[in-house]
Structure 1
């Protein structure tokens, strides 16, 4: 069979080119340190590497979200801790004031302390982060959550929604606590009704609990309690509704026994005197700001704090302070529990990322010893092919003709 000179050139050139290409591929692998640089290097491994890299990219995004969430929850938990401390301090100040008679200067001094603490509380509740977003305004980030209305009451202008972040596949984590939950929605310490004591009260009667006991027979209204002399050393109790109609009469009233009417149960402490009166009105929750403002008004209202009505009101305010502290603690607990949960997710993601990186390394990393050996073989083959082609190409028929 004849082999033309052109065919010899093509075959040898192709062999040299293939060896050069294979050598270059090994050089690329040695340079990158990777066994698989393209899908053609190992299609099955390339698919596995791509899947693992996509998982790691998603994990990195989750970890970024978690860092954001951790920062916000840590600040939230810290601010609520400050609010709890301030509220406890105010409550302790009121408790100390409950013992003994206060002078005018002492009353004003306590009122001034409460005002300063109220301003500090409002500052915490209106805290803005580094971006100028309000921490406790729900999702109304640019709305100042707590401000005074026309009646000089502190009202909430945010919403009850919470900001969220995706921290894992299908997992949304709250990154905030609404100001309404933290500061405005403390359960009424008395139950479902609040009490207004008459300024003319002379007995030491206080209401310990006023709550709905039977929803089926419950009639919501404002009710008045009047105590009258029964002529035998005791008092009779008459309960009337907002229209003045008598709801219930209790002869020879015994404060150790609760009374029930219109689906409401009321329990007492202390002893009333003839002529005492009070009213109860529906009120399921209390704002800690309202509680502080009521306390300030009590200490600034002349000598009321030293009266029987003032002491009864102070007892109610102390209960409301306890409820307010509990509500702030509850909100703080929500932030703390969420913070603990996102830290757990962060650890899980970090562990998964480590496992994925190890798997990618097994599939992708180059065996340098084997690669260098293969490179030397390719170089040897390339040199042999080049030398052979050089010799064959220089041979001529005329070299054998004499």
Structure 2
């Protein structure tokens, strides 16, 4: 017995088949226009997953490359600043050599050298407070918006930054320092011999404020014996002496013991105060309770070296009974300048090593990214020759189906009545 076909089936089945053929044709056309074989994850679940993974890897390498660009820019700027610092220190050393030749040094020469040293101090402070391209200070550690080197109202320069070092990740396993602490570069420099720094208490209230000089070492053996103690110069009540007058007492910081009999000493602005093998001057108008600190140390910052050299030139000139002290401090200045150049050179060497590493890493990223893109292309990119052939085949099949349907749809008795 023959099977009977319903009119619905005769019409709907061919229509469904033609719709599917049209869908396939449209998809092939979309693949050709986009150049991609995988349009949705359903086209190739495994391939789509691999492409997603490769896209993430490429995006991560792009981020690493951006980090390296930032790192290189910052390090190259820092290296340029340190090169200028070395030039400035080298010039100060030339001046110190000239000043050390006391036999031919004239008064005019000494004054001219002191004037240039003063200018070089300002130049050095400007270099040490350099900002990067984003407006942050290069040498302030994590405190990028804080000026690292600030002139204290009471004399000398203080470091207001921190000791933090910023790092940038340049690969999955490598992080490189993008900065150096100003304290490490310019402050923690080994001194030729035991040295000292002098500064005023930030809570002093004198008006005009009392200012302490950089000072000078007048007896190295005494300073060696005094180390590691510190001295505090405290201004006392004027009524403590008769007649009432500004006076000060020098005490050891660790236990408050009076040093060298310097108790209630009448204050003469600009007169030397000698304690523990060093001499400093205090000027201005300190109030009772104002304090000034002399801190012994094995390190000496570059600005302290400059200021002590300047202090020596201006206050202990040769030929006026200070020849031995003058010569000793010129020698220390030269040695400390050499130590400064050595320290800065070490920092520059570290910067060079980081730049070399970043160059190697960025080349590695370029190779890895190229390989990842090749793999990604082999997975998701379309074979145009195959796709065009398939498009022609699908178009031919669709046309045949449409013509076949047109023929079979007219096989009805009603067409022959």
- Fold shared per TM-score above 0.5: yes
What is the alpha-carbon distance in structure 2 between the residues aligned to residue 114 and residue 219 of structure 1? 29
Segments of 4+ moved more than 4 angstroms: 191-195, 218-222
**1:279 lines up with 2:277 in the alignment:** yes
Q: Is the 8 A contact 2:168 2:175 kept in 1?
A: yes
Match of 1:65 in 2: 67
Q: Which runs of 5+ in 2 are unaligned?
A: 198-215, 231-257, 261-275, 279-294
Match of 1:87 in 2: 89
Match of 2:308 in 1: 294
Matches within 5 A, 1:207-218: none
Instruction: Measure how far apart 1:149 and its partner are.
Output: 1.2
- Aligned with residue 165 of structure 1, among 162, 165, 168: 168
Match of 2:149 in 1: 146
- Aligned with residue 403 of structure 2, among 376, 387, 393: 387
Instruction: Measure how far apart 1:243 and its partner are.
Output: 7.2
Q: Is the 8 A contact 2:228 2:297 kept in 1?
A: no
TM-score, length basis structure 2 = 0.75
Instruction: Measure how far apart 1:348 and its partner are.
Output: 1.4
Residue 284 of structure 1 aligns to a residue in which SS? strand
**1:326 lines up with 2:346 in the alignment:** no
**1:303 lines up with 2:305 in the alignment:** no
Q: Is the 8 A contact 2:195 2:300 kept in 1?
A: no
Instruction: Measure how far apart 1:171 and its partner are.
Output: 3.1
Match of 1:11 in 2: 13
Match of 2:365 in 1: 349
- Aligned with residue 218 of structure 2, among 173, 186, 197: 197
Q: Is the 8 A contact 1:177 1:335 kept in 2?
A: no
Q: Is the 8 A contact 2:194 2:296 kept in 1?
A: no
What is the alpha-carbon distance in structure 1 between the residues aligned to residue 394 and residue 330 of structure 2? 95
Tell me the alpha carbon deviations over residues 205-231 of structure 1, each in whole angstroms, 9 at most, x when there is no partner.
Answer: x88xx79xxxxxx98458xxxxxxxxx
Instruction: Measure how far apart 1:96 and its partner are.
Output: 2.5
- Aligned with residue 107 of structure 1, among 107, 110, 120: 110
What is the alpha-carbon distance in structure 1 between the residues aligned to residue 114 and residue 124 of structure 2? 15
Greater RCO (CA < 8 Å, at least 6 residues apart): 1
Residue 277 of structure 2 aligns to a residue in which SS? strand
Q: CA separation of 1:186/1:219 partners in 2, compared to 1, >3 Å: closer, same or farther?
A: closer
What is the alpha-carbon distance in structure 2 between the residues aligned to residue 63 and residue 182 of structure 1? 28
What is the alpha-carbon distance in structure 2 between the residues aligned to residue 388 and residue 113 of structure 1? 102
Instruction: Measure how far apart 1:177 and its partner are.
Output: 0.8
Q: Is the 8 A contact 1:29 1:35 kept in 2?
A: yes
Count of aligned residue pairs for this structure pair: 338
**1:129 lines up with 2:132 in the alignment:** yes
Q: CA separation of 1:188/1:196 partners in 2, compared to 1, >3 Å: closer, same or farther?
A: same
Tell me the alpha carbon deviations over residues 214-252 of structure 1, each in whole angstroms, 9 at most, x when there is no partner.
Answer: xxxx98458xxxxxxxxxxxxxxxxxxx978xxxxxxxx
What is the alpha-carbon distance in structure 1 between the residues aligned to residue 37 and residue 43 of structure 2? 8
Residue 129 of structure 1 aligns to a residue in which SS? coil
Residue 388 of structure 1 aligns to a residue in which SS? helix
- Aligned with residue 413 of structure 2, among 392, 397, 401: 397
Q: Which runs of 5+ in 1 are unaligned?
A: 199-205, 212-217, 223-241, 245-277
- Aligned with residue 385 of structure 2, among 366, 369, 385: 369
CA RMSD of aligned residues (A): 2.7
Instruction: Measure how far apart 1:196 and its partner are.
Output: 2.2
